[in-house]
Amino acid sequence: MKKALIKNTEDVHKCRSKVVMKFGQYWFQKMGSKEWDQKKDKCFVKVEDVHTDKELVEFMTKLMQIRMPRDTTPFLFYLIPDFKEGHGIVILKAHHSFTDGAGMG
């Protein structure tokens, strides 16, 4: 799954960019190949200690209070492979600007 998600970022400018401040505003700046190679694995965070609905709510509450870092991709995938017996969870956390215009036809 990780390989497929990384492959799908090739053609989407925002996926391989970081958020930078220029002239007092935030902009996307495309990462070079070397920087992308260093940071792409950090887009995926494996979570080991969440196995109940209550623990999931607590995890999500804490997660939403943490600002997205600007020096890396504008999205993070949190992978909870063994949430419950036979069930895993994938959580996408994205910088709000990452989805700007996504709903526009």
Count of CB atoms situated within 10 Å of the CB of 74 = 23
Task: State pTM to two decimals.
Answer: 0.77
Bridge partners of 25?
22
Q: Output the furthest CA–CA distance in the chain (Å, rounded).
A: 50
Domain ranges of the chain: 2-12+37-99
- In tens digits, the chain (105 residues) has pLDDT values of 677 777 777 777 778 888 888 898 888 888 888 988 888 888 889 999 999 999 999 999 999 998 887 778 888 899 999 998 899 999 988 877 666 655 544
